[in-house]
A = this chain, B = another copy of it.
Amino acid sequence: MSAEDNMRANIRPNIRDVAARAGVAVKTVSRVLNGHPYVSAPMREKVERAMQDLDFVPSVAARILSGSKSNQIALIYDNHSPYYMFQIQTGCWEACKARGIRLLAQPVDVADPDVGDQVRGLVSETHVDGIVLSSPVTDCVPVLRALDAMDIPFVRISPGTNHALTSSVFMDDAQAADDMTTHLINAGHRRIGFIKGHPNHMASDDRLFGYRRALDRAGIAFEPQLVMPGAFDFESGFAAGAMLLDLRDRPTAIFAANDDMAAGVLAAAHGRGLALPDQLSVAGFDDTTLARTVWPALTTIHQPMAELARTATEILINGGDISHRRLAHTLIERASVAPPSRMTP
């Protein structure tokens, strides 16, 4: 037995090996593997023991080929920030692990004219059962067209546009920005600068909208010169922050549409020797690790990225009806926001 077992250990055991070992038909082993209803309890046990004995792991390739589900899904993403991708991958991965699904994380370049073909190739090659689309890819027309044409289910995380035919999960960017702006107003700020997100990103508009709505509600006049363009990166935040701080009547608080840009604002303020947060309050958005590693730590909106991804993946795996699920955000208070100092700066 030891000799035989050793030999088996080096050769990948087969479903046929398992069947032989258990003294049953191959098909019965297959039924056990797939949780088919018509299998008696003793039979199931017998087969499971045989699988254990042989360290049997079914080959995905063979399963795919024989025409059923591949038990694989793909996560398609484009190079966002490392932190964002990490959270998204983690969320997808957790959901997949719980259900025994394999996850293929696939980067693409949305600007590449061949994206559609690349995605088509991915699906044809790997036979994935479904796809999770993360942020910038969610609105990439060639990809959406390819997926529609292939008739493969997919779920979108934080899409910018609506798509009645597929499920999506998202958060309320406008409300979150409104919350943060209101938080700043409640702290006593009246002149609040805003740095917009990347123009290609739909959420940017929503966040600006929330900022304006909160100002309106508080009866504070909107001042266009307090709104600066940005691109979701440190450099653009730094530049926008510099512009705002050099205004004759500069704002007492600056709300950046993400944490990277907020970090840029902090740098610009430090460079001007401002005491933070007394002479300038800064707020971010996303709650990336960055928010905790800059000084002062950023008050920001916690966007539940991992949970968005996990939920999206669960929806995809469970199948069922098309659903659109909104997840809650949270305002995280840290040290970067304080009441404006008495003295006009």
Q: Interface on A for B, CB 8 Å cutoff?
A: 9-10, 12, 55, 57-62, 64-65, 70, 79, 81-83, 85-87, 89-90, 93, 102, 104-105, 107, 120-121, 124-127, 149, 151, 234, 260, 263-264, 266-267, 270-271, 289-290, 292-297
Contact = CB atoms under 8 A, between A and B. Distances in A.
A175 B214 CA distance: 54
Contacts of A62: 61, 65
Nearest to A275: B273
A170 B189 CA distance: 51
A284 to B, nearest CB: 11
- Give the 9 A-B residue pairs with the shortest CB-CB distance, closest first: A82-B86, A61-B64, A57-B124, A270-B295, A61-B61, A263-B293, A267-B295, A61-B65, A82-B83
Contacts of A127: 59-61
Given A82-B85, A85-B82, A125 B293 contact: no
A324 to B, nearest CB: 28
Contacts of A83: 82-83
Counted per complex, copies of this chain come to 2
Nearest to A9: B149
Main DSSP-derived SS at the A contact region: helix
Contact of A293 (B86, B102, B120, B260): B260
Contact of A105 (B105, B264, B289): B105
B59 A65 contact: yes
A30 to B, nearest CB: 16
A300 B107 CA distance: 29
B125 A57 contact: yes
A122 to B, nearest CB: 8
A154 to B, nearest CB: 17
Contacts of A293: 234, 260, 263-264, 267, 290, 294
A290 B291 CA distance: 11
Given A82-B83, A102-B126, A293-B290, A93 B64 contact: no
A125 B102 contact: yes
Contacts of A121: 57
Contacts of A82: 82-83, 85-87, 289
A165 to B, nearest CB: 17
A247 to B, nearest CB: 21
10 contacts: A10-B151, A59-B127, A60-B127, A61-B61, A61-B70, A82-B82, A102-B125, A264-B293, A270-B296, A271-B295
